[in-house]
A = this chain, B = another copy of it.
Amino acid sequence: MTTAVASSPLGLASPARGLECRGCGARFPLAAQHACFECFGPLEVWYDAEAFAKVTRAQIEAGPKSIWRYAGLLPAGQDPAQRVTLDPGFTPLIKADALAAEIGLRAPLWVKDDSANPTHSFKDRVVSVALTAAKALGFRRYACASTGNLANSVAAHAARAGVPSIVFIPYDLEQGKVITTAVYGGDLVAIEGSYDDVNRLCSELVETDDFEDTAFVNVNLRPFYAEGSKTLGYEVAEQLGWRIPAQVVIPMASGELLTKVDKAFEELVASGLAVAPEGGWRVFGAQSQGCNPIATALHGGATEIVPVKPTGIAKSLNIGDPAAGIYALESVRRTNGWMDYVNDEEIRDGIRLLARTTGVFAETAGGVTTAVTAKLVASGKLDPQLETVIYNTGEGLKTIDAVAGRVGPTYHVKASLKAAREVGLVS
């Protein structure tokens, strides 16, 4: 595939110029390649700085209310007719005064609610960018290794585009995520193992002849895929009036979302599109106790990640061997942020706290972020006087079992005024 791909550019309007190794800095042409031929390090898209400098606020603001308003800062999708997309993005940024009051934040607190995306998680952003690149590069089947949300998104994108899909998931996912993938009619492969096992198998499959025509969004298309997460940084800054918030709290699975939001802020400042807060921004990472390898490395002062075998209810974050973990550590250290983790009971409480105070029903990952935010305020790591944005990346309906035993009807009554009187609903 490599040769064919190397001769298939992403279109003349793309600001992407190539791929660059995050380890040794070696550069490669734009292609479906994710590891450095020199040092096996992960690759990242590099861009034409002059093209970025030409992007203006006015151009962006005149664009669609989706991630594609930032097409000038993304590797693919400049031509609307060539996008493979459900048009995700420009999700609500919700002022959360009641939540701030409960956890002791005295500066403005905002929830970036990415459950509002078409398949109700932030994965629609990365999938739209990856599959648009995949189409340009000539792939004819769409695939991924997933903890659930990515599976939903790839299957739905493929159905909309009328392209076959094959999605790989651990066998023990939440039913909500299994059904919401299978219903779109593509192939769905349940693997007896953890997400890390699924990911390993996909890395092997992508090298076979049978999968030569297949774009695994988070394996061979990973450099493009990862860039989609930058839009979660761009949008928050634009929604705040082209200001970067002083503090952001971001859930971590591979760690990539955190690094890309940080990268987005850097790009906005470098290109003069947004203003950094006094003293710079601080990036905070949230994990669950059942899968906390990145936070553990930070707490231990390490620069390497020791993989763990994930447990616990925050399945969408259960990546025991996080691909971008060391880069997440770098972002957090460079910006004077911090990381922390919470247990399953705190996650359930976090879901309910967020719902009760904001009207946003988050999946377990959002419970992690909410609970970790409260913990970071309590421990003094998060400055209660600084404006803060927390990211809810998914939808409560997909992990309904997490709270099913904890919430329910407050009254059971027969259908009569007399019965309502007996339980005290009326006097």
Interface residues of A (CB under 8 A from B): 65, 86-87, 92, 94, 98, 116, 118-120, 156-160, 162, 166, 169, 171, 175-176, 178-180, 182-185, 187-193, 197-198, 200-201, 204-205, 208-211, 351-352, 355-361, 395-398, 400, 403-404, 407-417, 420, 425-427
Contact = CB atoms under 8 A, between A and B. Distances in A.
A159 B355 CA distance: 7
B412 A171 contact: yes
A119 B359 CA distance: 9
A355 B175 CA distance: 17
Contacts of A193: 414-415
A299 B209 CA distance: 58
B415 A182 contact: no
B411 A190 contact: yes
Contacts of A396: 179-180, 183
A175 B400 contact: yes
B413 A190 contact: yes
B87 A92 contact: yes
B352 A210 contact: no
A425 B210 contact: yes
Nearest to A357: B159
A403 B183 contact: yes
Contact of A182 (B120, B178, B183, B408): B408
A415 B188 contact: no
A426 B211 contact: yes
A178 B356 contact: no
B408 A179 contact: yes
A356 B425 contact: no
Given A162-B98, A351-B183, A416-B201, A408 B361 contact: no
